[in-house]
C-alpha cells in the first residue's frame, strides 16, 4: 500500500497546516506545540485545537520517538471577549 503524501495530509484545517509543514518545522528544530503554534498558528483557529490538538501531539511524539505524555499539549487559555470601557464605568457587562 502506498503511503499518502504528507503534503496532502491536513493536520490543522483551521490554519491550513499539513503534515509536511510539521515535518519542516521539526527539521528546523521546533518540537513543542507552543513553538508550532507561534510559528505556524497550529491550533489557533476557530476550533482552538479541538480538532487538531491530539494529532499534533501524536505527530510530535512519533517524530521525536518520545512517549505521548512527553509531547506536551499547548497551553489552554480561557475564551475572552472585549468589553467596552463605558460598560466597566457603568458597572455593566453587556
Ligand atoms: S483544526 Fe487546528 S485550530 Fe482548528
Q: What is the tens place of the pLDDT at every residue in 56-79?
A: 999 999 999 999 989 887 777 777
Instruction: Give residue 94's pLDDT.
Output: 57
Q: Domain residues of the chain, as ranges? A: 6-90
Atom of ligand 1 nearest to the CA of 49: 3
Atom of ligand 1 nearest to the CA of 13: 1
pTM: 0.77
Distance 76 CA to ligand 1 centre (A): 13
Q: Quickly list DSSP for 24-78.
A: HHHHTT--SHHHHHHHH-TT-STTTTTTTHHHHHHHHHHHHT--GGGSPPPPP--
Atom of ligand 1 nearest to the CA of 56: 2
45: pLDDT strictly greater than 60? yes
16 phi/psi in degrees, rounded to 5: 55, 55
Fold exhibited by the domain 6-90: Arc Repressor Mutant, subunit A (1.10.10)
73 phi/psi in degrees, rounded to 5: -75, 160
Amino acid at each position: 500500500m502506498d503511503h499518502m503524501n504528507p503534503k496532502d495530509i491536513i493536520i490543522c484545517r483551521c490554519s491550513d497546516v499539513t503534515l509536511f509543514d510539521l515535518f519542516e518545522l521539526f527539521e528546523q528544530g521546533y518540537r513543542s506545540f507552543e513553538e508550532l503554534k507561534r510559528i505556524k498558528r497550529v491550533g489557533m483557529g476557530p476550533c482552538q485545537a479541538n480538532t487538531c490538538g491530539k494529532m499534533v501531539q501524536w505527530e510530535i511524539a512519533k517524530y521525536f520517538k518520545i512517549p505521548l505524555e512527553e509531547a506536551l499539549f499547548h497551553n489552554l487559555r480561557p475564551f475572552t471577549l472585549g468589553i467596552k470601557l463605558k460598560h466597566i464605568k457603568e458597572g455593566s457587562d453587556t
